[in-house]
Amino acid sequence: MNYENFILKNAQHVQSVEASLRTLSYFLPGRFDNSEILSEFLYSGTKLVGLYHDSILEVEAQKQQPKGASSFNRYNKGLLKKARVICWVLTVVRSFETTAEMVSSRLSKAFQEKFVLVIEIIKAALRLALFKISGNRMIMHTVLPERDYDLAKLEPGVEAGSWKAERTKKEHLSVDALTKDNADFNPAMQYLLSKAMIEPSLDPLELLPQLSGFKQVTEYVYIFRPLIYGTFKIM
């Protein structure tokens, strides 16, 4: 059993495990030497793993809890299709930058300042790339979709409620799924929503307007401001 299948079969427990690890990170500081670094690493890692879990559970969640995605998630999914690697690298860098800065602070101050500058250069380059790929649109506070479903109500497995046709390879609801006694599960509504155009057919990136003129300049300032500040601090 690979990790993805394990998460699918234990979806209801994922949220509690993530919450437990996040809570543990609050109690670690001050317990032993360098505990604050471990605490920050654990907190950042838990957040990043949660995003990875979302990418695994999203499809199954849409089957069991069908609803239209928020405009924010629709935009980020559209951007993710065009720049998946850049979005994930930027998220990883932002998640662990504080931990990396804490580690570098244990060395010399000069090294820490240069290290922070390198991080800001990477972030600025990634944000600039996203700005161009998105067609000169504003960079959101997070470039990955957020969790918009209830993990506690997500049932394990994907085989119990559907079957796949051998010839067409399409999934169909089973009789058990159609007759199951579950107030939160409406197979008729699920089927209709799966066939309906619940989202506009336009490009998700069109949800944000393209920036031009002064607005575009302000976005460049937002992208390069930390880099400029770090450069002047070293000088």
pLDDT, one tens digit per residue, over 84-139 is: 999 999 999 999 998 988 888 888 888 888 888 999 999 999 999 999 999 999 99
In a domain, 28, yes or no: yes
Is pLDDT above 60 for 157?
Answer: no
- For the stretch 13-40, pLDDT in tens is 888 888 888 888 888 888 888 888 899 9
3-state secondary structure labels for all residues of the chain: CCHHHHHHHCHHHHHHHHHHHHHHHHHCCCCCCCHHHHHHHHHHHHHHHHHHHHHHHHHHHHHHCCCCCCHHHHHHHHHHHHCHHHHHHHHHHHHHHHHHHHHHCCCCHHHHHHHHHHHHHHHHHHHHHHHHHCCCCCCCCCCCCCCCCCHHHCCCCCCCCEEECCCCCCEEECHHHHHCCCCCCCHHHHHHHHHCCCCCCCCHHHHCCCCCCHHHHHHHHHHHHHHHHHHHHHC
In a domain, 64, yes or no: no
* Average pLDDT rounded to a whole number, residues 205-219: 92
In a domain, 220, yes or no: no
Is pLDDT above 60 for 197?
Answer: no
In a domain, 20, yes or no: yes
Is pLDDT above 80 for 206?
Answer: yes
Q: What is the pLDDT of residue 200?
A: 52
In a domain, 111, yes or no: no
Q: Cα separation of 48 and 42, whole Å?
A: 10
Considering only residues 117 and 178, tell me which one the structure prediction assigns the higher pLDDT.
117
Is pLDDT above 80 for 4?
Answer: no
In a domain, 181, yes or no: no
Q: What is the pLDDT of residue 119?
A: 93
Contacts of 136 (CB under 8 A, 6+ apart): 210, 211, 212, 216, 219
In a domain, 189, yes or no: no
What's the whole-model pTM score?
A: 0.74
Number of domains in the chain: 1
Model confidence at 56, in pLDDT bands (50, 70, 90)? confident
Q: What angle do CA 66, 1, 167 make, to 5 degrees?
A: 60
Q: What is the pLDDT of residue 193?
A: 58
In a domain, 76, yes or no: no
Model confidence at 159, in pLDDT bands (50, 70, 90)? very low
- Domain carrying residue 14: 1-57
